[in-house]
């Protein structure tokens, strides 16, 4: 547009120059100077316009880049937060497939496993320790110590050795975890080696938990003891709830593992007969407790895992 205008002015000036007489018109040099001035002015305006457009384009690109980086950062934060409450493969599923526009879950997510090892580990004498009085700030210091214990248990799961173990939840002073909840391992029929690994690694982790609690006792002058129950078998894993979804596992295997804890003995790891057999085949020694009455299951023969100093040193 500006170039067209410059051409029009040039044509107009030349036409007017030809129409003027020699006596009345200015010299051609003056006209050309005026013409050059006008063209220079127009080119300067054009240059400024191009520069303004370039600057605006640069600023918009920079703003877009910042916004994209913010989106990526928020996506990373959301992933970290989601993986803190869900297993990594489940979090990936919801981040990419099953979240509605309002952030709720669109459909049921469930997995069926033929062999998962489940553990319940309780601190029965914690409730005797917990007290709401002025000395412990109405129970705050008691909760602070419990938080320290649970956090130390959680940190141990970050080790590659325990990567196949998934913390499910804590219920009061009871810690629930399971091994074998990994994609591609749903069907373990005919895979005795993997089944044995899931059982033994969770027992090793249970022994490690005992050692951690012993160390905390020394530092805090407490006498906490773990009571642990372990069982293995088929489970269904899934996520329930539209808001604040929770990953959990269900089935008879879970119920029996819970009973192994609640009917257990403080300071010992109690397992079912099938789990004891797997442990014996893997080199562990077990002690038959005999038959005990288990709520909803009748009489069950259970076993205690013998924990040696060698096991403690290994873990």
Query: Looking at the annotation, which residues are catalytic?
Result: 259, 295
- Compute CA distances 176 → 153, 157, 250, whole Å: 11, 13, 12
- Compute CA distances 270 → 46, 253, 294, whole Å: 86, 14, 13
CA separation for the pair 43, 287 (Å, rounded):
97
Q: How big is the chain by its Cα radius of gyration, in Å?
A: 37
CA separation for the pair 296, 260 (Å, rounded):
12
- Do the Cβ atoms of 228 and 268 come closer than 8 Å? yes
Q: Residue 161 gets which letter from DSSP?
A: G
- Do the Cβ atoms of 177 and 165 come closer than 8 Å? yes
Give the helix ranges, DSSP H, for 20-139.
Answer: 28-85, 88-96, 126-129
CA separation for the pair 190, 192 (Å, rounded):
6
CA separation for the pair 185, 112 (Å, rounded):
10
- Compute CA distances 267 → 223, 238, 248, 258, whole Å: 11, 32, 26, 16
CA separation for the pair 202, 162 (Å, rounded):
8
Residue 27, C-beta contacts closer than 8 angstroms, at least 6 positions apart: none
Q: Find the helix or strand (DSSP H, E) in which 7 lies.
A: helix 2-19
Residue 34, C-beta contacts closer than 8 angstroms, at least 6 positions apart: 13
């Amino acid at each position: 547009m500006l170039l067209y205008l410059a051409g029009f002015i040039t044509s107009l000036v030349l036409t007017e120059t030809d129409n003027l007489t020699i006596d009345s018109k200015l010299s051609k040099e003056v006209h050309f100077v005026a013409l050059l001035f006008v063209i220079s002015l127009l080119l300067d305006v054009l240059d400024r316009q191009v520069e303004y457009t370039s600057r605006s384009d640069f600023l918009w690109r920079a703003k877009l880049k910042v916004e994209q980086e913010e989106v990526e950062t928020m996506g990373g934060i959301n992933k970290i937060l989601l993986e803190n409450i869900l297993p990594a493969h489940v979090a990936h599923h919801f981040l990419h497939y099953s979240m509605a526009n309002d952030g709720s879950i669109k459909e049921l997510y469930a997995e069926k496993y033929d062999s998962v090892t489940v553990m319940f580990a309780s601190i029965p004498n914690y409730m005797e320790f917990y007290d709401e009085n002025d000395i412990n700030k109405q129970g705050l210091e008691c909760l602070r110590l419990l938080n320290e214990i649970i956090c130390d248990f959680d940190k141990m799961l970050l080790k590659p050795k325990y990567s196949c173990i998934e913390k499910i939840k804590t219920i009061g002073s009871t810690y629930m975890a399971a091994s074998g909840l990994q994609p591609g391992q749903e069907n373990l029929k005919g895979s005795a080696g993997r089944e044995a690994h899931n059982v033994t690694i969770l027992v090793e982790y249970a022994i490690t938990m005992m050692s951690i609690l012993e160390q905390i006792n020394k530092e805090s002058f407490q006498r906490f003891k773990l009571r642990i129950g372990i069982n293995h078998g088929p489970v269904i894993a899934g996520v329930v709830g539209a808001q604040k979804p929770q990953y959990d596992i269900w089935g008879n295997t879970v119920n029996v593992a819970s009973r192994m804890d609640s009917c257990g003995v403080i300071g010992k790891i109690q397992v079912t007969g099938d789990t004891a057999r797997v442990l014996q085949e893997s080199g562990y020694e077990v002690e038959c407790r005999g038959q005990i009455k288990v709520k909803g299951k009748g009489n069950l023969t259970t076993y205690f895992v013998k924990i040696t100093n060698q096991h403690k040193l290994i873990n």
